[in-house]
A and B are shown apart, each in its own frame.
Chain A
Amino acid sequence: MSTPARRRLMRDFKRLQEDPPTGVSGAPTDNNIMIWNAVIFGPHDTPFEDGTFKLTIEFTEEYPNKPPAVRFVSHMFHPNVYADGGICLDILQNRWSPTYDVSAILTSIQSLLSDPNPNSPANSMAAQLYKENRREYEKRVKACVEQSFID
């Protein structure tokens, strides 16, 4: 059975393979195109550099009219990532557009790693350190980077 959402996701996957954005990758799980696994590589010249951060993306049949649920599986220390891995990013909530696809979602999250928004914190400790004690912030992030090699 092929619904519009599934067909759209097949197109997303094809585009991701034909025109892969740098530093991100993603693919549907073997038995369910509605659930994807993705990896975002930490952007260069940020404390996240060299990290390989895993995420899951869960779509509903309302995609692309509704955004998918995206969360980090890897442990993250970032002002806009909740303790459970959920991501506070406007384009995944109220500024979602049905013209986005998986590539756009992953590259947006990647740029969130480079440019956190400490004014709408999901992790207040990370936001505070980011603003007030950058050295400690980077230390905590580097610990995540090292952990990302293991899990």
Chain B
Amino acid sequence: MSENSRMDENDNDKKEVSQEKMFTLKKWNAVAMWSWDVECDTCAICRVQVMDACLRCQAESKKDFYGKQDCVVVWGECNHSFHYCCMSLWVKQNNRCPLCQQEWSIQRMGK
């Protein structure tokens, strides 16, 4: 058994040597674009959980004592979800989902 494994190792060594000469890595650029995982239900625009009020509503809540503003969640046909507040501001300038660039159309709204 030990002989066998030694044989294998030798084989591997030979393979590695021949592979080494086939190519050398000259340039390696790792580019990482980052985005929130949609599964965790964070609004990718304001970075707050969609179940909580968006940053805009949070910022305004201090001066607004007339009951809680209803900050709802909106789902697109692409299944991406955002705060309705966040998304309604964005679609005014570009009617595309900011995560997948598909034409934005509302699938449903709610909590």
Q: Which residues of A contact B (CB under 8 A)?
A: 2-4, 7-8, 11, 15, 21, 43, 45, 64-66, 97-99, 101, 103-104, 107-108, 111, 114-115
Least Cβ–Cβ distance between A92 and chain B, in angstroms: 14
Query: Given the complex, which residues of B lie within 8 Å of A64, measured CB to CB?
Result: 45-46
Cα of A93 to Cα of B93 in the assembled complex, Å: 13
Evaluate whether A4 and B46 lie within 8 angstroms (CB atoms) in the complex, with A45-B27, A98-B86 already known. Answer: yes
B40 within 8 A of A: no
- CB pair B58–A7 under 8 Å, yes or no, is yes
Cα of A90 to Cα of B26 in the assembled complex, Å: 28
- CB pair B27–A111 under 8 Å, yes or no, is no
Q: Which residues of B contact A (CB under 8 A)?
A: 26-29, 31-36, 44-47, 54-56, 58-59, 86, 89-90, 93, 98-99, 101
Q: Find the residue from A2, A4, A43, A104 having the highest chain B CB count within 10 A.
A: A4
- CB pair A65–B34 under 8 Å, yes or no, is no
Query: Given the complex, which residues of A lie within 8 Å of B56, measured CB to CB?
Result: 4
- CB pair A111–B89 under 8 Å, yes or no, is no
Contact among A3, A65, A107 with B89 in the assembled complex (CB-CB below 8 Å): A65
Q: Find the residue from B29, B56, B101 having the highest chain A CB count within 10 A.
A: B29
Nearest B-chain residue to A101, judged by Cβ? B47
Q: 20 additional contacts, CB 8 Å, given A7-B55, A8-B55, A107-B33? A: A3-B59, A4-B46, A4-B54, A4-B55, A4-B56, A7-B46, A8-B46, A21-B34, A45-B26, A65-B89, A66-B93, A97-B98, A97-B101, A98-B44, A99-B36, A101-B47, A104-B33, A104-B34, A104-B35, A107-B32
